[in-house]
Amino acid sequence: MKQQTANSANTDLKKAGLKVTLPRVSILEILEEAEQHHMSAEDVYKTLLKNGNEIGLATVYRVLTQFEGAGLVTRHHFDGGQAIFELDTGDNHDHIVCLKTGKVAEFKDAVIEERLEQIAKDLGYTLNDHKIVLYGEVIESAKEKRRLQVRNTGTKKGR
């Protein structure tokens, strides 16, 4: 499994016209494997450290910028946060960002996209690209549920 990822990272680097180096392979692997695949350079740096890879933060920044230039990753500048990187999958999705935690989720909505096409058309444009970023706060539903459960149990005991 691990070997497969390394191979695919190597292939992706070569396809992008980048020389295969250890920092590049390690960083690309992290981006390909990450569960939360929207990562700041610091997130990548910390994951490298956890994996026992001592690659400096400056190198991480440099490699991510090279990846961006080669079209491997997209860089986002969400309000009030650091630059966030993710693999460029070419699916042009949109994002919602938590103002408290910085947690990023993504979405794609056919109705919105159809509407944007129409707006552009009405204004006499073709639509080549769009970026929508929503800002909000993650609803702490799990926490809230637990609180209610505790309260319900308390009521039952009281009767």
List residues near Zn ion by CB under 5 A: 86, 106
Which DSSP string corresponds to 107-124? Answer: E--HHHHHHHHHHHHHTT
CB of 79 to Zn ion, least distance (A): 16
Closer residue to Zn ion, CB minimum distance, 20 or 98: 98
Burial grade of 63 (CB within 10 A; 0-12, 13-18, 19 or more): buried
| Number of residue whose CB is nearest Zn ion | 106
Give the start-end residues of each E strand in 80-143.
84-87, 94-98, 104-107, 133-136
Closer residue to Zn ion, CB minimum distance, 29 or 86: 86
Cα-based distances in Å from 15 to 3, 5, 9, 30, 33:
18, 15, 10, 18, 19
What single-letter DSSP state applies at residue 106? E
Closer residue to Zn ion, CB minimum distance, 49 or 132: 132
Closer residue to Zn ion, CB minimum distance, 55 or 97: 97
CB of 96 to Zn ion, least distance (A): 10
CB of 104 to Zn ion, least distance (A): 7
CB of 83 to Zn ion, least distance (A): 13
